[in-house]
Structure 1
Amino acid sequence: MRRLESDYHVHSYRVPTSYTNGHIHWMAGVTGPPVPMGPSHVHYYSTVTTFDQGHLHCASGVTGHSIPCPEGGHTHLLTGCTSVDHYHSHYYGSYTGNEEASMLFQRRAI
């Protein structure tokens, strides 16, 4: 089966954490390339939150399966819990950006 370079896409994300101990953090980054999973695919991610209240948190995980967007392309659910720092952690949950907005390659057979 021939694959397209466009099969190797990534997604951007910008996600706020939950409000814990009187503050929130923000996380932003870009996922890794797609990993086939059944009829769909997922992406790994790893990031560090903003530095707020004298500390930051780490977060990493695997997105959910692809979710088609009405205007074309797809997104993924990004949920989890940050590392424990300053005796607490934060939850987060949001969606990645559409892969068509962060496409790295032209569509051509490889």
Structure 2
Amino acid sequence: MVSSDYHIHSFGARTSCANGHIHWMCGVTGPSVSMGPSHVHYYDGITSFDQGHVHCFRGCTGPSIPYPGGGHVHSMNGCTSIDHYHSHHYGSYTGNEESSRLFQSKVL
């Protein structure tokens, strides 16, 4: 029997300023996906509604980064969709996985 630990991370970020405004992003990642000696998470969502529009975003986190005191976080970097003739950049980190454990699964 092999025990697998699937988990998610919460995230919250602010986009760069473009056309005089910013947007907020928040959500949770998808479950962990093994990648070499580490793992990553895919994520997607829609920004806050500001200046009469929203932007879509999606991406894949970087590998896990150990967190002081236990657990780990992931970097998130990217660019939103182009809407109203502009896009926004973002860069942030997920929350610590220890506080956002989703479930544990046992695979036979």
TM-score (norm 1): 0.92
Does residue 60 (structure 1) correspond to residue 58 (structure 2)? The answer is yes
Does residue 94 (structure 1) correspond to residue 92 (structure 2)? The answer is yes
Could you tell me how far apart the structure 2 residues matched to 1:38 and 1:109 are? 21
For the residue of structure 2 that corresponds to 1:45, the secondary structure is strand
Count of equivalent residues = 107
Could you tell me how far apart the structure 1 residues matched to 2:18 and 2:106 are? 48
Deviation at 1:109, TM superposition (A): 4.8
Give runs of aligned pairs for residues 1-110 of structure 1, distance below 5 A: 2-4=2-4, 7-105=5-103, 109-110=106-107
Identity fraction in percent? 67
Deviation at 1:24, TM superposition (A): 0.2
> Unmatched 5+ residue regions in structure 1?
none
Could you tell me how far apart the structure 1 residues matched to 2:24 and 2:106 are? 38
Deviation at 1:104, TM superposition (A): 2.0
More strand by share: 2
For the residue of structure 1 that corresponds to 2:85, the secondary structure is coil
For the residue of structure 1 that corresponds to 2:75, the secondary structure is strand
TM-score (norm 2): 0.94
Deviation at 1:2, TM superposition (A): 1.3
Deviation at 1:71, TM superposition (A): 1.1
